[in-house]
Amino acid sequence: MFAQIVRRIIYLVVVLFIMSAIVFFLMNMVTGDPVVIMLGHSANKETIEKLREQLGLNRSVFVQYFDWISHVLRGDLGDSYTIPMTVSEVILQRLPVTIELTLFSMLFSLIIAIPLGIIAAIKFNSKTDMTLMGLSAACISMPNFWIGVLLILLFSLKLSLLPASGYVLFLTSPLKNLKLMILPVITLSIWYIAVYMRFTRSTFIETLRSEYILVARAKGILEKRVLWVHAFKNTLIPLVTVVGVNISGLFGGAVVTETIFGLPGIGRLLVDAILGRDLPLIEGIVLFITTAVILCNLVVDILYVYIDPKIRYE
């Protein structure tokens, strides 16, 4: 297990280095001068050149990158071009919103998907199974930005039940916070509910056909115990894998969801940084998201051992 963790940490460092280089050079290839965006097209050339020199943008791209990466290794992500704060401060300020959105979406997806997937497996080839699979296929086909717009039209504009946008800290007003998070969480969860439900169904059906399940039933063990103690536990292992793989998708979906519902999280911050050509902020956010995804996958690998003690890493 220890060797596996060390290998994952080395993998983390390599991936972060590659991702930082790719994003840095790609952003420098995109048209648009961050200095002109900051000062406006009406600024004179002397002011533009002075600020460009001050920010180090007059140097070659390779020099800029190695200067930036050397600061990152010392824990300094630099200063934002568009916000009068350091990149680390901006990310930490917006982080609670994205954590709340992704955590609630993941929990909501699993709470809804697992029972429905098990029901579909138990009712295999019945009308219930066909209906649930049809609904899941429809949900997978719908992009989350379209779902978000529909939810706003229905629950905010037509029925006036829930607010369309905005955010309030949970500690400031728990009830208002939850009301504001309902539509974003549903929007981000719909696709994952469908995917997890279908995966749970297929895995549960395969588990129920296993020899040890047939033996347990032959011994006269109660059906409820067969389903929830023997079958369900073995269904969790591949499901945990799928959840770990889809963590990166949650962050990607958060970009669209936060933009639609006006949530001041990391996803919306990334969109604003790209539009404003804020290179230090873009790099900082990409590094943070990449690190979070890899660490979450490492946690998932460690969870395997506790879900199934037969799994051991050398």
* pLDDT tens-place string over residues 181-238: 999 999 999 999 999 999 888 888 888 777 777 777 777 777 777 777 667 777 777 7
Q: From CA 53, how far away is CA 76, in angstroms rounded?
A: 20
Nearest CA-CA partner of 17 in 311, 283, 271, 239 = 283
Q: From CA 296, how far away is CA 245, in angstroms rounded?
A: 9
Per DSSP, the three-state class of 79 is strand
Q: Has residue 313 got a pLDDT over 60?
A: no
The answer to whether residue 57 is domain-embedded is no
Q: What's the structural domain count of the chain?
A: 1
Q: From CA 11, how far away is CA 13, in angstroms rounded?
A: 6
The answer to whether residue 256 is domain-embedded is yes
Residue 2 confidence (pLDDT):
66
The answer to whether residue 246 is domain-embedded is yes
Q: From CA 251, how far away is CA 262, in angstroms rounded?
A: 16
Residue 46 confidence (pLDDT):
79
Per DSSP, the three-state class of 38 is helix
Residues of the domain holding 201: 87-307
Q: Which two tokens stand for residue 238?
A: 């591949």
For residue 237, what is the DSSP state?
H
The answer to whether residue 303 is domain-embedded is yes
Backbone Cα Rg of the chain: 24
Beta bridge partners of 79: 86
Give how far Cα 83 sits from Cα of 269, 273, 287, Å: 11, 10, 19
The CATH number of residue 276's host domain is 1.10.3720.10
Residue 182 confidence (pLDDT):
93
The answer to whether residue 217 is domain-embedded is yes
More confident residue, 108 or 217: 108
Give how far Cα 97 sits from Cα of 16, 20, 65, 166, 265, Å: 24, 24, 30, 11, 5
The answer to whether residue 33 is domain-embedded is no
The answer to whether residue 45 is domain-embedded is no
Cβ partners under 8 Å of residue 162, min gap 6? 155, 156, 179, 182, 183
For residue 303, name the pLDDT band (cuts at 50, 70, 90). Answer: confident
10-19, 107-116, 159-168: least confident range: 10-19
Q: From CA 31, how far away is CA 277, in angstroms rounded?
A: 10
Task: State the distance between the two ends of the chain, measured CA to CA, in whole angstroms.
Answer: 6
The answer to whether residue 47 is domain-embedded is no
Q: From CA 188, how far away is CA 253, in angstroms rounded?
A: 6
